[in-house]
A and B are shown apart, each in its own frame.
Chain A
Amino acid sequence: MSTDLDALYQEIILDHYKNPHHKGLRDPYESEVHHVNPTCGDEVTLRVHLADGVVQDVSYDSVGCSISQASASVLTDLVIGKPVDEAMGIHQTFLELMQGKGQVEPDEDVLEDGIAFAGVAKFPARVKCALLSWMAWKDATTQAQSEGAPS
């Protein structure tokens, strides 16, 4: 009975939950968004700082379960310092993993610690938890780009 549970709560996830990376709101930033999961009340406020086509910083303040908190931490590890296009590609890969109902084999080269979330995809009620900060990041990045554009 605990194999599925252990697949959900990988040590990596619990580590990120207890010691989240890049947490806290920072300046400078071009856009800030606030996303909530209306069914459970999980919330994230997330800021994006872009310059020269690169994700310079992602900072956030959030409340929620272990999955949503760890996911935000992993997100920042993966996208900070990456070109925006590459970061968007990582976002797409993570989204496909989460929406794969547990059938998608995660690519560790792209997702690094993010592969720990493969088990979450088997729990439909928790997929939204894992995606909360990722959706917020995409929203904030799109806003920052449209403000910075056109060029």
Chain B
Amino acid sequence: MEGLLPDLDVIRKDFPILERTLAGGVPLVYLDSANTSQKPQVVIDTMVDHLERHNANIARAMHQLGAESTEAYEAARDQVAAFLNAPSRNEVIFTKNATEALNLLARTIDLGPGDNVVITEMEHHSNIVSWQLACERSGAELRWFGLTDDGRLDLSNADQLVDEHTKVVAFTWVSNMLGTINPVTDLVALARAAGALSVIDASQAAPQLPVDVQATGCDFLVFTGHKVTGPTGIGVLWGREELLNELPPFHGGGEMIETVTMARSTYAKAPHRFEAGTPPIVEAVGLGAAVDYLRHIGLDAIHRHEQAITAYALEGLQSVPGLTVLGPLDATERGGAISFELAGVHPHDVAQVLDSRGIAIRAGHHCAKPAHARYGVQSSSRMSSYLYTTPAEIEALIEGLHHTRSYFKVDG
């Protein structure tokens, strides 16, 4: 199959969990990577080594371990800056996850009555609810781009939606439900032309596409560590340095100050301005190893692999009677998450039967209820591949779906 990673067998050996068998001795077929990715040995080893040999608090311990720990944490910032092609390491802020990064922006960007924020109907709940809360607090108006029948953003009314009162345009790069890859440079240009800030949710893009913040021209971009083969508990907010330093602090606490008196404090510049308290140190170190691992393999090569697997999956899924794919059917226009409905069988039941065969997928609304509602769907099943996914695993899924239909006696 063209486009697959050339050393797929070697890559799979990097991920120890892929050796696992499940109840009944069946091998694991992990097709839930858009939910969380599996972790390569190098990430696991780097985190263990840090905890075994270098553990100390950062930036405040005046001893050798403190220096080593600080160096490892700050090295992770450099690794992430390189991953994003950020002009400055000071623009990389470590957060708990992408959700916290989005909430940081929604909490600190100044909004008021008469302003508006524009999002899209295909956002993850984290990029909807955080802005709903910001608009309720400030009196700003929330607007959104609708979706076309074939799962793309409807930009036909862009000029009415984004106007001179728009303060923020926030959108996902790759939809976690529909898989759609959005035209980010066009959306950034639209925001810039209106004098609004652009915010990109790259949670689903960062694992599988080259993300270059300078090429997108955006103002802010967020992603989460655990979907890029890193650990949970660590996310990233990237922002233009001058913009970050204009935002007020988010959390108050240690390490985010210049000086503190009982009456008032002055604040450090980014990134420390937004990293109050002891951060997730070993998680950041693990994330650094993860993004280096992905860069070593190459995001272009990973993207080609995902497209080849996605095309193969789309073809296979459409061979299953009664199966409807939600979102674009052209693999070149979408990421590696494919949501679908199987007539006569609820997604939970699909996932349960597949699980009994060792196949892990997600079932539910995938934290994208509005996008489901748009297509009149209550919930869906979702398979999602990654750099370690093989064509044989896709074949196991398709076979499992045929079996699911016969198990539930669809069509008798």
Contact = CB atoms under 8 A, between A and B. Distances in A.
**A and B together in one complex:** yes
Nearest to A129: B348
Interface stretch (B12-20, B202-210, B254-262, B351-359): B351-359
B24 interface: yes
Contacts of B348: 40, 42, 64-67, 126, 129
A5 interface: yes
B352 A2 contact: no
A29 interface: no
Interface string B330-360: 0000000000000000111100110011000
24 contacts: A1-B24, A1-B26, A4-B356, A5-B356, A5-B407, A9-B352, A9-B407, A14-B408, A14-B409, A39-B364, A40-B347, A40-B348, A40-B364, A40-B365, A41-B364, A41-B379, A42-B379, A43-B378, A64-B378, A65-B349, A67-B348, A126-B348, A126-B352, A129-B348
Contacts of A129: 348
What are the 5 tightest A-B residue pairs by CB atom distance, in nearest-first order? A1-B24, A65-B348, A65-B346, A40-B364, A5-B356
Contact of B379 (A2, A40, A66, A123): A40
A40 B363 contact: yes
B369 interface: yes
Contacts of B378: 41, 43, 63-64
A8 interface: yes
Interface of A: 1-2, 4-5, 8-9, 14, 39-43, 63-67, 69, 123, 126, 129
B346 A41 contact: no
A5 B353 contact: yes
A9 B349 CA distance: 9
Contacts of B372: 41
B215 interface: no
A64 to B, nearest CB: 7
A129 B349 CA distance: 11
Given A5-B356, A65-B347, A66-B346, A41 B369 contact: yes
Given A40-B379, A41-B364, A41-B369, A2 B356 contact: yes
Given A40-B348, A41-B379, 14 more contacts: A1-B24, A1-B357, A4-B23, A5-B353, A8-B352, A9-B407, A14-B408, A40-B347, A41-B372, A43-B378, A64-B346, A65-B347, A65-B348, A126-B348
A123 B352 contact: yes
Contacts of A5: 352-353, 356, 407
Question: Interface residue tally of chain B, by bracket?
Answer: 20 to 34
A135 to B, nearest CB: 17
Interface of B: 23-24, 26, 346-349, 352-353, 356-357, 363-365, 369, 372, 378-379, 407-409
Contacts, number: 53
B23 A1 contact: yes
Contacts of A8: 352
Contacts of B346: 64-66, 69
B227 to A, nearest CB: 19
Contacts of A65: 346-349
B353 to A, nearest CB: 7
Nearest to B358: A1
B30 to A, nearest CB: 17
Contacts of B349: 9, 65-67
Contacts of A40: 347-348, 363-365, 379
Contacts of A67: 348-349
A132 to B, nearest CB: 12
A69 to B, nearest CB: 8
A63 B372 CA distance: 14
Nearest to A69: B346
B137 to A, nearest CB: 23
Contacts of B356: 1-2, 4-5
Nearest to A14: B408
Contacts of A69: 346
Contacts of B379: 40-42
B283 to A, nearest CB: 25
Nearest to B366: A41
Nearest to A18: B409
Contacts of A64: 346, 348, 378
A20 B24 CA distance: 33
Contacts of B364: 39-41
B396 to A, nearest CB: 13
A36 B356 CA distance: 26
B29 to A, nearest CB: 13
B168 to A, nearest CB: 27
A65 B351 CA distance: 11
Nearest to A63: B378
Contact of B365 (A9, A14, A41): A41
Contacts of B353: 5
A2 B352 CA distance: 11
